[in-house]
Amino acid sequence: MAAVTALSMSVTAFADEPYNSYNYDSWEDAVPSQSAYMVETTITGAEMGLSRLRDPSDPLYVSDTAPLSLNGARDIFIYEEDKELWVADANNNRILVLGLDDYQLKACYTGVKGSSVDNFLNPFGIFVNVSESLGQKVVYIADTDNSRIVKATIKDEKTLECVREYTKPTDSIYTVQSFNPKKLVVDKSETVYTVVNSVNTGSAMFSREGKFLGFFGANRVEVTAAVIAQRIWRMIASEEQLAGMKRNVPIEYANFDIDLDGFIYTVTEQKTSTDAVKKLNPAGYNIWNNARGNEYKFGDLQGQLWDPVTNKNFQTRLTDIDISKEGLINVLDFETGRVFQYDKECNLICIFGSKTSTSDQRGSMLNPNAVESCGKRVFVVDGSKNDITVFIETQFGKYVHAAFALYDEGRYVEAKSEWEEVIKRDGGYTYAYIGLGKAALNEEHFSKALKYFKTAYDQDDYDKAFKYAREDFLREHFTLIIIIIAVLIVLLIVKSILKKKGIKLIKRRKKPLAEAIPALFKKKKEKEGE
Amino acid sequence: MYEFTQMGWLKHVIFHPVEGFEDLRWKKQGSLKIAFVIVFLLFVVMVADRQLTGFQFNHAYVKVFNVVPLLVQSVVYFFTWVIGNWALCTLFDGEGTLKKICVYSAYALVPYIVCSAISIFISNFIVSEEVIWMSAIYYLGLGWSVVLMIQAMKAAHQYSFGKTLVSMFFTLVAMLLILFLAILLLSLFQQVYAFGYSVYTEIAYRIRG
């Protein structure tokens, strides 16, 4: 009977994600969790209506051979003001614009008018915003294989008009032969930051006028045993040997994003403990610096993991980062196809998405290239499956996000009801207990707070709560404690006085005992003596 | 002079680090029973350290509790220390017997055990700003025990101070060797067992089929 039940359970098909949601607990062990996001839909070329590009009667007509699907899409950008989803369809050499509500094709650009080269060649990156100097919407495109960045205004749904081209800097500080910009962001003063292929000194900066300004926010070299050993060898090596040695250079970062306050967030693909994810202030200084005593961790925490689905070890390889309007940080791991979502303080909210051996299910990726978020949706672009997966937050995710939003503002008590809803759905959600503990602490329910912090295994907050709880205890029982101490002191004084005067209160008991022990000993001694 | 009970001797030894063990040796005192109780208490204190330390100071992985490593860290280490030291004293012309080494070493551990217990106790009442009190008591006990251990070995073997230190260092080396050999032996026996078992299954299959 039991076997039959188990069997029937195992063959039941769920319209569920093709992965088990998990989260990390206080010991950094992976524990099962609820799904905070689920797949809403996937958008392929057919769903976008790319066939319109082949229809001569359609205003969007391009040619009879226009590709009907995405091909190696590299980047997406959501322009919320006009409800547009921009896709850099790299291998098809075009930029697509979709409506954010219906995911239908709105515009298609294969090139830009009035520039040195008319057609795009592998455009890898895209950025859209409103230019204050021009007073209208402008598009920035990293036209990678044409070695340029194009800044263009939108004329109609098929033509872009070039405003400025950013090409390879001629300054001597730019030492790399090629100029292949991959990703770009633009800040409010219209300074263009771009990640250039094989440039490891940070992102290249261009001013609004197109002048090269230098590099921004380079990674550091991670200090490993090999690096130290090489440093020592360099001291004793000859000139020829030095010339043949590999140089220790920092790893270039893979991608970045800019938030509403102008902070730039970078991700580095390779495993580094130093600079995997950085939050850079305008001076290029990393705010999330582990060297200053904080611990910021991103991606999977256990390093080499065995993935039961693909049967292999893998290392986290963070390939894209997105900062939502609410300040949530989505980090996309190329290796596992997982999106890790963090709050403003880098607390892990949830993990979703996957990479399975076949990747034929919704929610599993093959070649995840970019992540972008908008409201309660998260979009992930796949460069091999040639689709866009749309994740939408679940009821659980809704409560978690609401709770985190209040929690990050320090409104612990208001977050209480949200955390309780979270716990109803996932009793192992660590931050819910921390949140409830902080709420209890604010309300001065100390023992309750201690209990919550203990459940969450949050030692630091427990310590703080314990301090208050102890004070509270002492204050409440102050008289009792003083009385006990006073009684003890009086007893000690009485005892010393009695001793001084040679008065023994418990005469009868003490005497035989005092005599008995030496007597016992003497007997033993005598025995030994014999 | 120096007529104490066994417990009195223990107290005398602990509070007279310089002459205590010499007196103990001179009077041919020291109880093996008490020594074993002390070693057991060492084990108890180690378990308490893991289980009863105040929550904010306890960094142990509480999801699993395995008593074997604690047993090894207390009882097994102690007896390897005793055996290692005893084995070395023949090479170093020491005068100690196995019983003496065992008893003296155990007596020397008492301050560590007591101070650990006290620090575990107060860890339940302090916050991390006051952790200095806890660690001060702990290290006081540890230091005291180290001093006593040196004196104990010196008295047991009638060594000079320098020779005591040298012999203690080599005792640590001997402990490593003993543990290494023990593990080697264990794994070898495991393989022998596995071999025997596979031969047995082979025969069993052949008989059956």
Q: Is residue A401 part of a domain?
A: no
Same-domain pairing of A296 and A167: yes
pLDDT of A303 reads 59
Q: Is residue B63 part of a domain?
A: yes
pLDDT band at A141 (very low <50, low <70, confident <90, very high): very high
Residue-wise pLDDT for B5-15, tens only, equals: 888 899 999 99
Angle at B189 between CA B183 and CA B195, to 5 degrees: 140
| CB-facing half-sphere around the CA of A341: CA atoms within 13 A | 27
pLDDT of B166 strictly over 90: yes
Same-domain pairing of A373 and A436: no
A517 touches chain B (CB under 8 A): yes
A463 touches chain B (CB under 8 A): yes
Same-domain pairing of A375 and A522: no
pLDDT of A198 strictly over 90: no
Length of chain B: 209
pLDDT of A483 strictly over 70: yes
- Comparing A256 with A231, which gets the higher pLDDT? A256
A459 touches chain B (CB under 8 A): yes
Same-domain pairing of A338 and A266: yes
Q: Is residue B192 part of a domain?
A: no
What's the sign of the alpha-carbon dihedral B129, B133, B136, B139?
negative
Report percent pLDDT > 70 for chain A.
88
Query: What's the rounded mean pLDDT across residues A200-204?
Result: 88
Give the closest of B5, B56, B63 to A462, CB-based.
B56
Q: Which of A361, A393, A425 is the last residue of a domain?
A: A393
pLDDT of A3 reads 44
Q: Which of A348, A363, A393 is the last residue of a domain?
A: A393
pLDDT of A12 reads 44
pLDDT band at A252 (very low <50, low <70, confident <90, very high): confident
| Chain A residues lying within 8 Å of B62, measured CB to CB | 457
Q: Is residue B191 part of a domain?
A: no
Q: Is residue B189 part of a domain?
A: no
pLDDT of B39 strictly over 70: yes
CA-based nearest distance A460→chain B, Å: 7
Q: Is residue A399 part of a domain?
A: no
Query: What's the rounded mean pLDDT across residues A380-396?
Result: 92
- List the single range of A304-308, A321-325, B115-119 with lowest mean pLDDT: A304-308
Same-domain pairing of A293 and A162: yes
- List the single range of A126-140, A228-242, B28-42 with lowest mean pLDDT: A228-242
pLDDT band at A362 (very low <50, low <70, confident <90, very high): confident
| Chain A residues lying within 8 Å of B125, measured CB to CB | 470
Q: Are B200 and B105 in contact (CB under 8 A)?
A: no
Q: Which helix (H) or strand (E) holds A431?
A: helix A430-442
Same-domain pairing of A435 and A350: no
Residue-wise pLDDT for A60-105, tens only, equals: 888 888 889 999 899 999 998 899 999 999 999 999 999 998 999 9
pLDDT of B142 reads 96
| Chain A residues lying within 8 Å of B127, measured CB to CB | 463-464, 466-467, 470
pLDDT of A523 strictly over 80: no
Query: What's the rounded mean pLDDT across residues A403-426?
Result: 94
pLDDT of A272 reads 60
pLDDT of A393 strictly over 90: yes
Q: Is residue B208 part of a domain?
A: no
Determine the structural domain holding residue B17 and report its residue range: 6-175
Query: What's the rounded mean pLDDT across residues A250-275?
Result: 83
pLDDT of A10 strictly over 50: no
CA-based nearest distance B64→chain A, Å: 12
pLDDT band at A363 (very low <50, low <70, confident <90, very high): confident
pLDDT of A526 reads 55
* A466·B127 Cβ contact <8 A: yes
Give the closest of B5, B127, B129 to A517, CB-based.
B5
Q: Are A319 and A380 in contact (CB under 8 A)?
A: no
> In whole angstroms, how far apart are CA A164 and each of A122, A184, A331?
19, 15, 31
Determine the structural domain holding residue A507 and report its residue range: 478-529
Q: Is residue A386 part of a domain?
A: yes
Same-domain pairing of A345 and A470: no
Closest alpha carbon to A274 in A285, A289, A264, A252: A289
Q: Is residue B204 part of a domain?
A: no
Q: Is residue B51 part of a domain?
A: yes
Residue in A with minimal Cα distance to B124: A466
Same-domain pairing of A205 and A241: yes
The structure tokens listed for A186 are 């633009």
Domain count, chain A: 3
Residue-wise pLDDT for A319-352, tens only, equals: 999 999 999 999 999 888 899 999 988 899 999 9
Residue in B with minimal Cα distance to A27: B61
Question: What's the whole-number average pLDDT of chain B?
Answer: 93
Dihedrals phi, psi of A320, to nearest 5 degrees: -150, 155
- Comparing B94 with B117, which gets the higher pLDDT? B117
Domain count, chain B: 1
Dihedrals phi, psi of A165, to nearest 5 degrees: -115, 135
What distance separates the 2 farthest-apart alpha carbons in chain A? 125
Residue in B with minimal Cα distance to A528: B28
Q: Is residue B164 part of a domain?
A: yes
A454 touches chain B (CB under 8 A): yes
pLDDT band at A530 (very low <50, low <70, confident <90, very high): very low
* A459·B63 Cβ contact <8 A: no
pLDDT of A307 reads 61
The domain that holds A284 is classified in CATH as 2.120.10.30
Same-domain pairing of A484 and A345: no
pLDDT of A8 strictly over 60: no
Asked whether the ipTM of the predicted complex exceeds the cut of 0.90, the reply is: no
A462 touches chain B (CB under 8 A): yes
CA-based nearest distance A436→chain B, Å: 18
Residues A276 and A258: their CA atoms lie apart, in Å, by 16
Query: What's the rounded mean pLDDT across residues A487-511?
Result: 79
* A470·B61 Cβ contact <8 A: no
Residues A507 and A509: their CA atoms lie apart, in Å, by 6
The domain that holds A447 is classified in CATH as 1.25.40.10
Closest alpha carbon to A126 in A485, A372, A443: A372
Residue in B with minimal Cα distance to A470: B125
Per-residue buried b or exposed e for A60-88, using 16+ beta carbons within 10 Å of the residue's own CB: bebeeebbbebebbbbbbbbeeeebbbbb
* A470·B125 Cβ contact <8 A: yes
Residue in A with minimal Cα distance to B60: A27
Same-domain pairing of A471 and A484: no
* A462·B3 Cβ contact <8 A: no
Closest alpha carbon to A380 in A73, A142, A98: A73
Residue in A with minimal Cα distance to B125: A470
Torsion, CA B186, CA B187, CA B192, CA B194, rounded to 10? 120
Query: What's the rounded mean pLDDT across residues B145-162?
Result: 94
* B55·A462 Cβ contact <8 A: yes
| Chain B residues lying within 8 Å of A521, measured CB to CB | 3, 5
Closest alpha carbon to A202 in A153, A252, A260: A252
Same-domain pairing of A249 and A343: yes
Same-domain pairing of A239 and A366: yes
Q: Is residue A15 part of a domain?
A: no
- List the single range of A166-175, A286-295, A325-334 with lowest mean pLDDT: A286-295
Residue-wise pLDDT for A452-463, tens only, equals: 999 999 999 999
The structure tokens listed for A73 are 């899409």
Residues A222 and A273: their CA atoms lie apart, in Å, by 7
Give the closest of B3, B56, B62 to A466, CB-based.
B56
| Chain B residues lying within 8 Å of A523, measured CB to CB | none
Query: What's the rounded mean pLDDT across residues A241-247?
Result: 78
Q: Is residue A45 part of a domain?
A: yes
